[in-house]
């Protein structure tokens, strides 16, 4: 019987996996483990994957899965990614060329939702500024006066797994929860409203929908200016969803009070942005919302299952659909 081949590219190579996981993988096919601490070039990927049927890839080692190098791998029939989002992948090209793609839609739901509430508490209680003040990083007179979550309204754009759990956590704090999602059927106790009503009524707007492959921002100046005066914007999805320049402008003008982002910030070195960061009005974490021990343990075990599924013609969590815009739709 023909044994399919798989190449798994991670930061620690074979050491990424437990002995039990290695045994399961090697029973399903011929496995090669590759250690890559930094992004690989297209030529390196082609060399590593030219004779393989299945590729197991992490965003750290392979930050863009695109036709420029995929087209040079005629044997490749399946890709399992250690990620939930697929905005860095040309899904449409994979579909057109019948290459199956498996992602991890559930492994980080709890951690990302908890991180969202953590960022909200940091902004509301001025935790980041309080630390900076006692460390002497900001003037002693810097105000750290906060505000309570109870009684406030949070508007969730996207009511998928993460948005739905954020709703539960927010309700536990005594918050009123509004939601907008044209795709979600069951929103639990969330009050479903139009996007216009959500923006106008929410003290905090939190984004929980995916970015599109090579798409442009979907939350720009128009949406920001429709938000309630003095509101906050939370974004634990992707920075590409939001127009960074417009966020700086509306906060500097006093229309919004702050922005929290779990991703890169393209204008972080901008003078206006630096001032807002120093004032605590822009809070940034470096795409760490997913990063917890539980997620790692759960994720690697599920990822192994997905690689084995592709090797044994029993794929799991196969991503379908085109690569078009997913503006204001949940993940």
User: Domains plus CATH for the chain?
Assistant: 5-107+292-311 (3.40.50.720), 109-285 (3.40.50.720)
Residue 21's pLDDT is 98
Q: Are 121 and 260 in contact (CB under 8 A)?
A: no
The phi, psi pair for 314, rounded to 5°, reads -135, 60
CB atoms inside a 10 Å sphere around CB 172: 10
Q: Are 238 and 216 in contact (CB under 8 A)?
A: no
What average pLDDT does the chain have? 92
Distance CA(285)–CA(271), nearest Å, equals 19
Residue 103's pLDDT is 96
Distance CA(179)–CA(188), nearest Å, equals 10
Which is more confident, 215 or 198?
Answer: 198
Distance CA(254)–CA(231), nearest Å, equals 10
- Check whether 75 has a pLDDT greater than 90: yes
pLDDT tens by residue, 60-72: 999 999 999 999 9
Residue 264's pLDDT is 85
Q: Are 43 and 37 in contact (CB under 8 A)?
A: no
- Check whether 175 has a pLDDT greater than 50: yes
Region 75-81: mean pLDDT is 97
220: exposed, middle or buried (Cβ count in 10 Å: 0-12, 13-18, 19+):
middle
- Check whether 219 has a pLDDT greater than 70: yes
- Check whether 293 has a pLDDT greater than 80: yes
Q: Give 1's pLDDT tier (boundaries 50, 70, 90).
A: low
Region 232-257: mean pLDDT is 95
Q: Which of 26-30, 117-121, 185-189, 219-223 has the lowest mean pLDDT?
A: 185-189
- Check whether 322 has a pLDDT greater than 80: no
- Check whether 40 has a pLDDT greater than 80: yes
Residues above pLDDT 70, as percent of the chain:
95
3-class DSSP assignment, residue 205: strand
pLDDT tens by residue, 111-152: 999 999 999 999 999 999 999 999 988 888 888 999 999 999
The phi, psi pair for 315, rounded to 5°, reads -65, 150
Read out DSSP for 137-201? Answer: SS-TT-------STT-EEEEE--SHHHHHHHHHHHHTT-EEEEE-SS-S--TT-EE--HHHHHHH
Read out DSSP for 84-100? Answer: S--TTB-HHHHHHTT-E
3-class DSSP assignment, residue 127: helix
Q: Are 104 and 319 in contact (CB under 8 A)?
A: no
- Check whether 323 has a pLDDT greater than 50: no
Region 99-104: mean pLDDT is 96
Region 239-267: mean pLDDT is 94
Residue 187's pLDDT is 66
Residue 62's pLDDT is 97
3-class DSSP assignment, residue 330: coil
Helical axes 271-278 vs 244-252, angle rounded to 10°: 60
């Amino acid at each position: 019987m023909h044994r399919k081949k798989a190449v798994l590219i991670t930061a620690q190579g074979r050491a990424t996996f437990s002995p039990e996981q290695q045994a399961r993988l090697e029973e399903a096919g011929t496995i090669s483990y590759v250690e890559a601490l930094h992004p690989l070039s297209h030529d390196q990927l082609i060399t590593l994957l030219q004779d393989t049927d299945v590729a197991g890839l992490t965003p750290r080692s392979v930050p863009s899965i695109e036709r420029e190098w995929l087209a040079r791998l005629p044997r490749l029939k399946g890709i399992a990614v250690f990620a939930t989002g697929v905005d860095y992948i040309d899904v449409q090209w994979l579909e057109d060329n019948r290459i199956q793609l498996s992602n991890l839609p559930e492994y980080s739901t709890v951690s990302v939702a908890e991180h969202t509430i953590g960022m909200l508490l940091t902004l509301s209680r001025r935790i980041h500024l309080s630390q900076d003040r006692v460390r002497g990083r900001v003037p002693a007179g810097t105000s750290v006066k906060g505000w309570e979550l109870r009684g406030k309204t949070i508007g969730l754009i996207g009511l998928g797994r993460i948005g739905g759990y954020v709703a539960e956590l927010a309700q536990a704090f005594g918050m009123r929860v509004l939601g907008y999602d044209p795709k979600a059927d069951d929103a639990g106790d969330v009050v479903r409203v139009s996007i216009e009503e959500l923006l106008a009524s929410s003290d905090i707007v939190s984004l929980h929908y995916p970015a599109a492959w090579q798409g442009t921002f979907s939350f720009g100046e128009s949406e920001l200016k429709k938000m309630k005066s003095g509101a906050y914007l939370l974004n634990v999805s992707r920075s590409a969803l939001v127009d960074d320049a417009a966020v700086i402008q509306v906060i500097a003008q006093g229309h919004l009070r702050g922005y929290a982002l779990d991703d890169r910030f393209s204008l972080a070195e901008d003078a206006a942005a630096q001032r807002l960061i120093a004032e605590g009005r822009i809070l940034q974490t470096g795409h760490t919302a997913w990063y917890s021990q539980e997620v790692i343990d759960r994720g690697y075990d599920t990822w192994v299952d997905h690689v084995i599924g592709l090797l044994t013609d029993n794929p799991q969590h196969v991503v379908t659909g085109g690569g078009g815009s997913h503006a204001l739709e949940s993940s």
